[in-house]
Amino acid sequence: MKRMLLWLVSLPLLVQAQTEDIKCYVTLKGGVQMVLQQPVADTSKANLDRVFKLKGYEIDGVVRPVIEVIECVPLAATFSLAAAKEQDDIQPR
């Protein structure tokens, strides 16, 4: 019984520890497109949309929220869209 209880208590910690760094090509309010990155545990399309739409990026003192997630890939991977590849190459992080 104690083992089962310990397992149930530690399960969220095990799940949380398995995160993957993801980068997404996004559109910010105002039409600016850029690459943002975030560690996430659930890499499903729905979760990536939710996680990245909670983010914003500051431009000229104004935080612009993400309004569209266009493409997401693991941090070491290459985007398939040409515009995303170009932005990833030129954007410092």
What is the spatial distance between Cα 77 and Cα 21, in angstroms, rounded to a whole number?
10
pTM: 0.79
Q: What percent of the chain has pLDDT over 70?
A: 81
Average of per-residue pLDDT across 35-60: 95
- DSSP-derived secondary structure letter, 61: T
From the list 48, 39, 41, the residue with the least C-alpha distance to 13 is 41
Q: Please state, in angstroms and as integers, the Cα–Cα distance from residue 26 to each residue in 19, 67, 75, following that order.
A: 20, 8, 15
What is the spatial distance between Cα 55 and Cα 70, in angstroms, rounded to a whole number?
14
Average of per-residue pLDDT across 30-54: 96
Domain layout of the chain by residue ranges = 20-90
